[in-house]
Amino acid sequence: MDYSIESAPLDKLQSDCLVVGVYENQSLDKNAKQLDALTHGLLSRLLGRGDIKAKVGETLFINHTGLAGVERIVLLGFGDKNQLNRKSYRKAIQSLVKLLREAKLKSATAALLDIEVQAADLIWCGRQIVEVIHEGVYQYSATKKIDDKVALTHLAIAANAEQLPLATQALQQGQAIAQGVELAKHLADLPGNICTPTYLAQQAQTLAAHHPDLQCDVLEEADMQALGMGALLGVSRGSRQPAKLISLHYQGADAGVKPIVLIGKGLTFDAGGISLKPGLGMDEMKYDMCGGASVLGVMRMVTELNLKLNIVGLIPASENLPDGDANKPGDILTSMAGKTIEILNTDAEGRLILCDTLTYAERFNPDVVIDMATLTGACIVALGRVPSGLFGNDDALCEDLQRAAEVACDAVWRMPIWDEYQEQLKSNFADLANIGGPDGGSITAACFLANFAKDFRWAHIDIAGTAWRTGANKGATGRPVPLLSQYLINRAG
């Protein structure tokens, strides 16, 4: 899929399909008005006839225009002009891409930058067009033959001379974010027998090879042993695939600038270990590496935009499988931080690979540390599949993330990590238990992590409910790449 900016005026435009916006009460957007004049009132006639009410996302396909350059027109509804918010704008673009797919069009021109969206600017609109369309044409094909390939391969965004500079920026950002999301989705959709810890490490190395400011180091199990990462190694004991601790170093700012450290859970398959999960839906545990995939996606975005930031990406990658040598309930592991951990349930493995990675993050003298993890089913019970759970020890950092989430339409909801919950993690035999009982499971998981994040500003994003869709539409979403991208773009200023 490629994208471009079309700066020819509508009367000179060559397009397979020109998309313009309409509002309820038969009102036309600026570009639609112009097109209406060029077509001698065709659009207002169709609106007047009631062919389209222009509710958000409603479309009308016109396959004959009478114009020399424009083959087809799509009228796209944006609802009430005075109530158009970010979500409705995205919803409209989502239904546009559905229509373009169904009509099997190869290319289209979107003249939608004059649509006014509450609390959003032109850059945001342009970016969303790219992000939503890119998402809408994504097709998984790594292990499956596709009969009905999406025809759409080119999208142009119409911008006048005045809009051109911002539109260009929007296109760059939109493409960078969309490619980051695509990478995260692709890796996450791959099966566990292909996407192993070693495979993830190779992907990180490939990414680094493509950019001079990005460097990749991979710690092997022997290195982890030397560092005392007993918690991480405890999880990988039961697996024949060696664990990897992948680190990516991006230097876009002066060497002295403290890095933003991003950590992503890279559990390439979570069977639960000796505390084996039930069989139903267990295939979805290939998605337990979505946090790690998001780190790779974000790194791809950052290198694409050459953001002036220093960023360290850390991905603890392992499988969690039952085995004669796997760790068992009652076993006690010693973490890199020196704290002992009683394993009460081997299925609570994410926090074990993350706690050693949090300790490891200290050596980078981080400005902030943000981890992303498909950590708890309890997070889905608490919040459903709409927002990710946000936890953190620093209000300013959490507020920055909340703001970025809103703009990116990649929602989060803040949850508490009060000291009272630490009671649930007490053990008679170790400094900490790895589970806190049935109550508040996503909170006690975050509280477990908080014990290893005392020396820096830290946020944890539980993406168990948001990183992939379940059911007939099963597939990775690429979240929270949009949120992190927005946060980093904001930080870069």
Residues lying near ligand BES in the complex (CB under 6 A): 270, 288, 345, 347-350, 374-378, 435, 441, 464
Residue spans of alpha helices (H) in 159-196:
164-189
Listed ranges 22-30, 210-218, 262-270, 461-469: which one lies at the site for Zn ion (CB under 5 A) = 262-270
Please tell me the distance from the alpha carbon of residue 66 to that of residue 477, in angstroms, as a whole number: 40
| Interface with Mn ion, residue 410, by CB under 5 A | no
Cβ within 8 Å of residue 369, ≥6 positions away: 261, 262, 263, 358, 361, 453, 456, 457, 458, 459
Query: What does 114 bind: Zn ion, ligand BES, Mn ion, none (CB cut-off 5 to 8 Å by kind)?
Result: none
Q: How far is the CB of 173 from ligand BES (least distance, A)?
A: 30
Annotated catalytic residue, options 277, 328, 339, 414: 277
Which of 131, 349 has the CB closer to Mn ion? 349
Query: What does 345 bind: Mn ion, ligand BES, Zn ion, none (CB cut-off 5 to 8 Å by kind)?
Result: ligand BES
Which of 232, 307 has the CB closer to Mn ion? 232
Q: How far is the CB of 268 from Zn ion (least distance, A)?
A: 10
Please tell me the distance from the alpha carbon of residue 484 to that of residue 481, in angstroms, as a whole number: 5
Taking CB under 5 A as the rule, which mask of x and - marks residues 400-439 in contact with Zn ion?
Answer: ----------------------------------------
Secondary structure (DSSP) of 317-382: EEEE---TTS--TT-EEE-TTS-EEE-S-TT--HHHHHHHHHHHHGGG--SEEEEEE---HHHHHH
Q: How far is the CB of 28 from ligand BES (least distance, A)?
A: 46
Closest CA to 401 of 479, 487, 307, 485: 487
Q: How far is the CB of 462 from Mn ion (least distance, A)?
A: 13
In the range 334-353, which residues lie near Zn ion by CB under 5 A? 350
Q: How far is the CB of 335 from Mn ion (least distance, A)?
A: 17
Which of 95, 388 has the CB closer to ligand BES? 388
Q: Which helix (H) or strand (E) holds 311?
A: strand 310-320
The one-letter amino acid at 270: D
Judged by CB under 5 A, the residue of 29, 36, 221, 270 near Mn ion is 270
Please tell me the distance from the alpha carbon of residue 309 to that of residue 253, in angstroms, as a whole number: 5
Cα separations (Å) of 318 from 198, 232, 264, 371, 445?
9, 8, 12, 16, 19
| Interface with Mn ion, residue 24, by CB under 5 A | no
Closest CA to 353 of 259, 486, 219, 476: 219
- The CA-based angle 313-479-132, given to 5 degrees, is 125
Residue 292 near residue 264 (C-beta atoms within 8 A): yes
457 catalytic? Reply is no
Nearest to ligand BES by Cβ — which residue? 377
Please tell me the distance from the alpha carbon of residue 148 to that of residue 134, in angstroms, as a whole number: 17
Q: How far is the CB of 207 from ligand BES (least distance, A)?
A: 24
Query: What does 67 bind: Zn ion, ligand BES, Mn ion, none (CB cut-off 5 to 8 Å by kind)?
Result: none
Which of 114, 288 has the CB closer to Zn ion? 288
Q: Tokens 């965004």 — which residue? A: 157
| Interface with Zn ion, residue 272, by CB under 5 A | no
Q: How far is the CB of 359 from ligand BES (least distance, A)?
A: 19
Query: What does 464 bind: Mn ion, ligand BES, Zn ion, none (CB cut-off 5 to 8 Å by kind)?
Result: ligand BES
Taking CB under 5 A as the rule, which mask of x and - marks residues 310-349 in contact with Mn ion?
Answer: -------------------------------------x-x
Q: Tokens 């919950």 — which residue? A: 421
Which of 242, 322 has the CB closer to Mn ion? 322
Residue 485 near residue 177 (C-beta atoms within 8 A): yes
Closest CA to 262 of 327, 209, 210, 307: 307
Query: For residue 480, is the peptide bond before it cis, meaning its omega torsion is within 30 degrees of 0?
Result: yes
| Interface with Zn ion, residue 356, by CB under 5 A | no
Which of 234, 350 has the CB closer to Zn ion? 350
Closest CA to 87 of 410, 488, 401: 410
Query: What does 435 bind: ligand BES, Zn ion, Mn ion, none (CB cut-off 5 to 8 Å by kind)?
Result: ligand BES
Which of 66, 281 has the CB closer to ligand BES? 281
Residue 388 near residue 465 (C-beta atoms within 8 A): yes
| Interface with Zn ion, residue 291, by CB under 5 A | no
351 catalytic? Reply is yes
| Interface with Zn ion, residue 288, by CB under 5 A | yes
Enter the DSSP assignment of 452. T
**Which amino acids are annotated catalytic?**
277, 351
Q: Which residues bind Mn ion (CB under 5 A)?
A: 270, 347, 349
Q: Which residues bind Zn ion (CB under 5 A)?
A: 267, 270, 288, 350
